[in-house]
């Protein structure tokens, strides 16, 4: 029996992907024999409505001094975070004397650099030492730590409380969310705002985006599940916004209870969640069926192309690709290599399936017949810069929201 991380109620499992390696655990051949695996399974809590992993990987195995994901690999994301920073400055810092901004999971400083550049007091809390160092090189103040209520207390006593606490694509990574919520309660000024965004459960379900499910993503948030958690700490969701980044994300604005009147977006979103059925187990059973169908179609397509002797390579060695390659059985005889712009991944092999990761230059120098778009969430950015690939008859294979060939 599995217990909910949030409310301890019994969880209803609904999908299992089998044995999985660490999504960002790109490795060298001498490490193949000691590769770590866990069981990737997801369940739904009928009590507090939180969708969550059933087995967790130790955080130190995922986030460390060799962390492979650098946020600044996407120029679209840099622009997205530039706009978030402007919004925070105009809406929440403009009236404050000497404001202070804290970011949880600040990575290479993609968001905080927008505050550092204007000498706004800021602090990033980032446990992966290599990306934290990259942020420091840009002038972003970063401490190397996992955020929790102890760190919150320490930051508040050393710097005072924060006017804004920001967190992008990190809240869903933290299994011990009670400690995080308690930390927010401690660190946030009475009139301050906690703003965070993560891939949205509604988008994952509606688009069959099963590759968002991997070790780092402990939770898949709905507004209802977020409301149920934070209301226990006298914190309330006062506004939500949807963005199309990372395949569909939800931004939550949270403040101390009773300070702001919630906007109409909150009730509208709760109603939408009821219509999609995010509160019902049967929605997740249907999701599982769609995932299995998607896997079978992708596998069949790739095997057909192999039989026709077509060259197929992966485009972007994303974390998400680890779920797809392992779950669908995509091996080096099917996929020649994966091209990626991140130096730390290049020359290594993909987790579990051991497909070589090569440079982007290699892709450009000798275009394949097909590119399997593992970075489908960046399709607009990627397709805009890969016009030559299409002009030379190259075709894209995408699998979200459905398996199809484009081009």
Q: How far is the CB of 99 from ligand JHZ (least distance, A)?
A: 26
SS (H, E, C) the chain: CCECCCCCCECEEEEEEEEEECCCCCECHHHHHHCCEEEEEEEECCCCCCEEECCCCCHHHHCCCCCCCCHHHCHHHHHHHHHHHHHHHHHHHCCCCCCEEEEECCCCCCCCHHHHCCCCEEEEECCCHHHHHHHHHCCCCEECCCCCHHHHHHHHHHHCCEEEEEEECCHHHCCCHHHHHHHHHHHEEEEEEEEEEEEEHHHHHHHCCHHHCCCCCCEEECHHHHHHHHHHHCEEEEEEEEECHHHCEEEEEEEECCCCCCCHHHHHHHHHHHHHCCCCHHHHHHHHHHHHHHHHHHHHHHHHHHHCCCCEEEECCCHHHHHHHHHHCCCCCCCCCEECCCCCCCCCECCCCCCEEECHHHHHHCCCCEEEECCHHHHHHHHHHCHHHHHCCCEEEECCCCCEEEC
Cα 291 → chain centroid = 19
Q: How far is the CB of 97 from ligand SAH (least distance, A)?
A: 27
Query: Residue 120's binding partner, choosing from ligand JHZ, ligand SAH, none, with beta-carbon cut-off 5 to 8 A by kind?
Result: none
Is the CB of residue 199 less than 8 Å from the CB of residue 242? no
Query: Residue 147's binding partner, choosing from ligand SAH, ligand JHZ, none, with beta-carbon cut-off 5 to 8 A by kind?
Result: ligand SAH
Closest to ligand JHZ by CB, 5 or 249? 249
Query: Residue 112's binding partner, choosing from ligand SAH, ligand JHZ, none, with beta-carbon cut-off 5 to 8 A by kind?
Result: none
Phi-psi region of 343 (alpha: psi -120 to 50; beta: other; left: phi over 0): alpha
Angle at 158 between CA 121 and CA 256, to 5 degrees: 75
Q: How far is the CB of 1 from ligand JHZ (least distance, A)?
A: 28
Query: Residue 319's binding partner, choosing from ligand SAH, ligand JHZ, none, with beta-carbon cut-off 5 to 8 A by kind?
Result: ligand JHZ
Closest to ligand SAH by CB, 56 or 360? 56
Query: Residue 126's binding partner, choosing from ligand SAH, ligand JHZ, none, with beta-carbon cut-off 5 to 8 A by kind?
Result: ligand SAH
Closest to ligand SAH by CB, 148 or 336? 148
x-marked contacts with ligand SAH along 32-71 as a string, rule CB under 6 A: -------------------------------x---x-x-x
Q: Footprint of ligand JHZ on this chain (CB under 6 A)?
A: 69, 73-74, 169, 216, 246, 316-320, 340-342, 345, 360, 375, 377-378, 381-382
Contact flag: residue 105 with ligand SAH (CB under 6 A): yes
Site for ligand SAH in 69-98 (CB under 6 A): 69, 71
Site for ligand SAH in 115-174 (CB under 6 A): 125-128, 131, 146-147, 168-170, 173-174
Among 5, 24, 52, 107, binds ligand SAH (CB under 6 A): 107
Q: Residue with the closest Cβ to ligand SAH? A: 105
Query: Residue 73's binding partner, choosing from ligand SAH, ligand JHZ, none, with beta-carbon cut-off 5 to 8 A by kind?
Result: ligand JHZ
Contact flag: residue 104 with ligand SAH (CB under 6 A): yes
Query: Residue 317's binding partner, choosing from ligand SAH, ligand JHZ, none, with beta-carbon cut-off 5 to 8 A by kind?
Result: ligand JHZ
Q: Given the rule CB under 6 A, which of 21-29, 89-97, 104-112, 267-275 is the region that contacts ligand SAH?
A: 104-112
Distance from C-alpha of 399 to C-alpha of 407, rounded to nearest angstrom: 14
Which burial class, exposed, middle or buried, applies to 258 when counting CB atoms under 10 A from its CB (0-12, 13-18, 19+)? exposed
Query: Residue 226's binding partner, choosing from ligand SAH, ligand JHZ, none, with beta-carbon cut-off 5 to 8 A by kind?
Result: none
Query: Residue 74's binding partner, choosing from ligand SAH, ligand JHZ, none, with beta-carbon cut-off 5 to 8 A by kind?
Result: ligand JHZ
Q: How far is the CB of 264 from ligand JHZ (least distance, A)?
A: 29
Q: How far is the CB of 35 from ligand JHZ (least distance, A)?
A: 19
What are the phi and psi torsion angles at 29 (to 5°)?
A: -55, -35
Closest to ligand JHZ by CB, 133 or 381? 381
Give the footprint of ligand SAH on this chain (CB under 6 A): 63, 67, 69, 71, 104-105, 107, 110, 125-128, 131, 146-147, 168-170, 173-174
């Amino acid at each position: 029996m599995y217990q909910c991380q949030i409310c301890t109620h019994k969880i209803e499992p609904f999908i299992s992907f089998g044995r999985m390696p660490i999504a960002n655990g790109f490795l060298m051949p001498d490490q193949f024999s000691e590769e770590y695996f866990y069981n990737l399974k997801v369940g739904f809590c009928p009590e507090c409505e939180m969708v969550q992993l059933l087995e967790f990987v130790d955080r130190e195995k995922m986030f460390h001094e060799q962390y492979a994901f650098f946020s600044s690999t996407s120029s679209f994301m840099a622009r997205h975070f530039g706009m978030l920073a402007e919004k925070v400055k105009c809406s929440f810092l403009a009236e404050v004397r000497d404001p202070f901004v804290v970011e949880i999971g600040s990575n290479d400083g993609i968001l905080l650099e927008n505050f550092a550049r204007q000498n706004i007091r800021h602090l990033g809390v980032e446990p992966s030492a290599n990306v934290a160092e990259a942020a420091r090189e840009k002038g972003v103040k970063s401490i190397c730590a996992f955020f929790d209520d102890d760190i919150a207390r320490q930051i508040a006593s050393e710097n005072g409380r924060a006017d804004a606490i920001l967190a992008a694509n990190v809240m869903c990574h933290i299994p011990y969310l009670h400690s995080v919520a308690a930390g927010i309660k401690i660190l946030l000024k009475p009139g301050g705002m906690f703003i965070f965004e993560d891939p949205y459960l509604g988008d994952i379900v509606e688009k069959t985006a099963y590759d968002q499910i991997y070790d780092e993503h402990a939770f898949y948030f709905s507004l209802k599940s977020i409301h149920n958690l934070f209301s226990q700490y006298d914190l309330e969701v006062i506004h939500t916004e949807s963005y199309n980044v990372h395949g569909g994300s939800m931004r939550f604005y949270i403040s101390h209870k009773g300070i702001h009147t919630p906007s109409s977006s909150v009730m509208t979103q709760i109603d939408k969640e009821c219509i999609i059925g995010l509160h019902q187990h049967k929605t997740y059973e249907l999701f599982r069926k769609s995932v299995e169908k998607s896997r079978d179609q992708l596998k069949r397509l790739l095997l057909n192309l192999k039989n026709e002797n077509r060259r197929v390579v992966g485009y972007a060695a994303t974390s998400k690709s680890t779920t797809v390659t392992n779950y669908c059985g995509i091996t080096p005889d099917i996929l020649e290599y994966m091209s990626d712009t991140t130096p730390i991944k290049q020359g290594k092999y993909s987790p579990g399936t051991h497909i070589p990761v090569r440079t982007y230059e290699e892709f450009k120098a000798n275009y394949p017949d097909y590119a399997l778009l593992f970075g489908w969430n960046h399709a607009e950015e990627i397709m805009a810069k890969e016009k030559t690939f299409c002009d030379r008859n190259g075709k894209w294979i995408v699998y979200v929201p459905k398996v199809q060939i484009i081009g």
